[in-house]
Structure 1
Amino acid sequence: MNNDKNFFANVVSEMKKVSWPTGKEVVNYTTIVVVTVVFFLFFFYAIDLGITFLIDKV
C-alpha cells in the first residue's frame, strides 16, 4: 500500500513538470494535422485512380 501512495505521489510530481500546450497551440497543431491528412487523402486517391486507369487500359 505504501508503494501505491509513493507511486501516485511521484505521478503527481511529474505531471506538475509537464509543459502543457496553450489553446492556440492546440488549434494550430490540430489544423496542421487535419490539412496534412486531407492532402494525403487526395494524393493517394489520385494515385489510386491513376493506377486503376492504367490497369483497366491493359
Structure 2
Amino acid sequence: MSNNKNFFQNVVSEMKKVSWPTGQETARFTMIVTLTVIFFLAFFYVLDLGITAVIDFL
C-alpha cells in the first residue's frame, strides 16, 4: 500500500513541474489545428475529385 502512496506522491510532484499553456496560447494552437485540418480536408477532397474524374474518363 505504501508503494501506491509513493507513486501518487510522485505523480503530484511531477504535475507541479508541468508548464501549462496560457489561455491565449491554447486558443492560438486550437486555431492552427483547425485551419490545418480544414486545409487537408479541402486538399484530399480535391484530390479525390481528380482521381474520380480520371477513373471515370478511362
Q: For the superposition of Structure 1 and Structure 2, which TM-score range results when normalised by the shorter chain?
A: over 0.9
RMSD across aligned C-alpha pairs, in angstroms?
Answer: 0.3
Where structure 2 has 5 or more consecutive residues not aligned to the other structure, the ranges are: none
Normalised by the size of structure 2, how large is the TM-score?
0.98
Normalised by the size of structure 1, how large is the TM-score?
0.98
Q: Tell me how many residue pairs correspond in the alignment.
A: 58
Deviations 1:13-57 (A, max 9, x none): 000000000000000000000000000000000000000001001
- For 2:12, the equivalent position in structure 1 comes to 12
Q: Distance in 1 between matches of 2:36 and 2:8?
A: 38
Runs of 4+ in 1 over 6 A off after TM superposition: none
Q: Distance in 1 between matches of 2:42 and 2:8?
A: 46
Q: Distance in 1 between matches of 2:47 and 2:38?
A: 14
Give % identity. Answer: 67
Where structure 1 has 5 or more consecutive residues not aligned to the other structure, the ranges are: none
